[in-house]
Chain A
Amino acid sequence: MLRLAYRNLFQSKVRLAMSVGGVALALMLILALDAVMNGSEERLTAYIDNSGADVWVAQSGVRNLHMVSSWIPAEVTDEVRDVPGVESATPIMYLTAPVGTKNEQSLAYVIGLPKDAAMGKPWRVVEGKAVPEPGEAVIDSSVAERSGIRLGDKVKILGQKFEVSGLAEGTSTLTNSVAFISMKDFERVRGGGKVVSFVLVKVDPGRSPEAVAKRIEEDVGGVTAQSTQAFAEQERRLVNNMAGDLLAIMNLAGFTTGLAVVALTVYTATLARRTEYGVLKALGARNARLYGIVLAQALYSVVLGFAVGLAFTLVLSAAMPALDANLPMQVGVTSLLKVGGVSLVIAALSAVLPIRQIAGLDPAAVFRG
């Protein structure tokens, strides 16, 4: 019976191509969107993940970077250093602000770094220095490339002009990049007393970041301390929540398109062979066997569509860096499982109507011409 399903489907090459192509495009929509989200998610927390810190200490109640401000007294850094289990602590300043280049403005996480910063600095510098001196800035290399900025050129950050002294890699996301200036410049531009945004903590070897974070919260008042892992997870969750509706709509669009294409293909394939199904019924084939043929046809279409869609997505992912470095794509296992599950649901639903058709077939009709 599986052979019959296979042959029925493959006999009409045009219909098969349309079906597989349609399903492939629909599933690719879901896969590609997931891949963009996965890739962006990884970039989104790139600064946190590569900060070198084990624990992030922030203003009480602040649990992530995106769209927040965190201000804690500068002396908290020394208080944190005194907490048992803390090996070292680096304060950083942080604001979300535009970076103005020659011809455009792009949003950036602006980080103020102390001169001797052990943590929180750019982790991959392609040109120049990692920690800027006063009057200097380190910006993302793709932002610089897009704007034609080179070392020694000027950019505008927080209303002040800075000379570009370093270009970092991997510090841009779909929506923003990370720019680094000196702590001194940050304090000067911001004004308003001795404060820092976060204290980045390295814990003693063998100590649990979670335990040390808890101890910091207990010993230092008015702060929230989280392990880097927890801090990054909060960041991802926030952005996912923000993009959740869009993602749901696009997934629904992909699902509906895929369902419509497979349903139409399987329905027309069944309708075209209505007489043959009637003959099989008359000869003694049970309904369950005939339903199996329809389901198998739907499954074949979807599996082929999934394979083609995945291949397209992988090609697109590979080609994306050459097209736009700010749109990283990463096809994850979770995404594959999700789209695989969606495909199975599409196959099952698309078989419902043809199955109803077959159920209603009267085997005696074979003798009525």
Chain B
Amino acid sequence: MNDSTKDSTLRIEHVSKRFGSGETKVVAVRDVSLDVAPGEVVLIMGPSGSGKSTLLSMLGALLKPTEGEIRLGDEVLSALSENRLPTVRLHQFGFIFQDFNLLSALTVLENVALVAELAGAKRSQAREKARAQLTELGLAERLDFLPEKLSGGEKQRVAIARALINDPALILADEPTANLDSSIGHEVTRLLRHIAREQNRSVIIVSHDARIKDIADRVLWLEDGQFKDMVSMATDPVCGMAVEKEKAVVAEWNGRTFYFCSRGCRNEFVEDPGRFTDGDDV
């Protein structure tokens, strides 16, 4: 991962977005604030028309807020000129889309290499990086395939490879499981979680898919352009389930708070906490 952005925290402060004016004015996002730390997975849910896409566009430097500030580390993205935004998107953000949005005329390898080339890599270098990235995601046998020859899960993995190719600090995923069956969807969400945990990248997911809650550190509910009820998630150290902190069974040990899905898990933990405190962050 890029050293300069390794510890980048995405911070949005009192961000609003209005479209139109006068009687036709629409406030898509109103006074939203949020911090996303490196390695964190944030899930944003909400009904259609709640402002999720607008918020995601602003987070991804595709749209400027009407008010408020968006920062990535020390850089104020909302203050950058339009001319600088493409470079920021190319180097700091990885995008994953609901419809995969691969370029149909290019092969799997070319789809990924192209984005590296856009960021300034030489062709051979870009292809080498793309080959390594795709191989890591289990697509070594599909490098020369056109997207139309791939399954949905494979397409989404290519899209993830493309999102990662320029070593971004943040991954923005728009309904990444919407066009996948449940087992493939689960595989993709696990992959996103792995990317966050192992590569220390922030992952922001907008989705209607409640199963993604399992891998999210936080779940935010956006309605009428505002976060209504912020739900923090934690992982049960015993069974590994994602649990909402506010509804979880709690235990304190060694100065830390642990969250459990049930009393059974808590009791098992309390009997021998040392067994469960190595490994995954709780």
Contact = CB atoms under 8 A, between A and B. Distances in A.
A8 B206 CA distance: 31
A366 B61 CA distance: 13
Contacts of B62: 282, 363-364, 366-367
B101 A366 contact: yes
Contacts of A364: 53-54, 57, 62-63
A369 interface: yes
B95 A282 contact: yes
A279 B89 contact: no
A280 to B, nearest CB: 8
B103 A279 contact: yes
Interface stretch (B8-16, B34-42, B104-112, B190-198): B104-112
Contacts of A1: 114, 117
A276 B90 CA distance: 16
Interface in B54-94: 54, 56-57, 60, 62-63, 86-91, 93
A275 B106 contact: no
B118 A279 contact: no
A367 B174 contact: yes
B104 A276 contact: yes
B53 A284 contact: no
B170 to A, nearest CB: 13
Nearest to B123: A3
Contacts of A248: none
Contacts, number: 74
B89 A4 contact: no
A15 to B, nearest CB: 12
Q: What bracket does the count of chain A residues touching chain B fall in? A: 20 to 34
B98 interface: yes
A366 B95 contact: yes
A86 to B, nearest CB: 71
B110 A283 contact: no
B220 interface: no
A283 B91 CA distance: 9
B60 A276 contact: no
Given A3-B110, A282-B60, A368-B53, A11 B105 contact: yes
A7 B105 contact: yes
Nearest to B118: A285
A363 B98 CA distance: 15
Interface in A174-197: none
A289 interface: yes
B174 to A, nearest CB: 5
A11 to B, nearest CB: 5
A146 interface: no
A195 B239 CA distance: 122
Given A279-B101, A284-B87, A367 B118 contact: no
A233 B54 CA distance: 71
A134 B168 CA distance: 98
Contacts of A7: 105-106, 110
B104 A283 contact: no
Given A364-B63, A368-B53, A284 B86 contact: yes
A286 B56 CA distance: 20
Contacts of A279: 97, 101, 103
Interface in B129-170: 162
A284 B103 contact: no
A369 B206 CA distance: 13
A194 B103 CA distance: 85
| Residue picked from A1, A284, A363, most chain B C-beta under 10 Å | A284
A285 to B, nearest CB: 5
Contacts of B103: 4, 276, 279-280
Contacts of B91: 284
Given A282-B62, A283-B95, A283-B118, A11 B104 contact: yes
B97 A366 contact: yes
Contacts of B60: 282, 367
A8 B115 contact: no
A289 B106 CA distance: 17
Contacts of A273: 104
Given A282-B89, A283-B90, A367 B104 contact: no
Interface of B: 53-54, 56-57, 60, 62-63, 86-91, 93, 95, 97-99, 101, 103-106, 110, 114-115, 117-119, 162, 174, 206
14 contacts: A3-B110, A11-B104, A273-B104, A276-B104, A279-B97, A281-B86, A283-B89, A283-B115, A284-B88, A284-B118, A366-B62, A366-B95, A367-B62, A369-B98
Interface of A: 1, 3-4, 7-8, 10-11, 273, 275-276, 279-286, 289, 363-364, 366-369
Given A10-B105, A285-B118, A368-B53, 10 more contacts: A1-B114, A4-B105, A282-B62, A282-B89, A282-B95, A283-B90, A364-B54, A364-B62, A367-B53, A367-B97
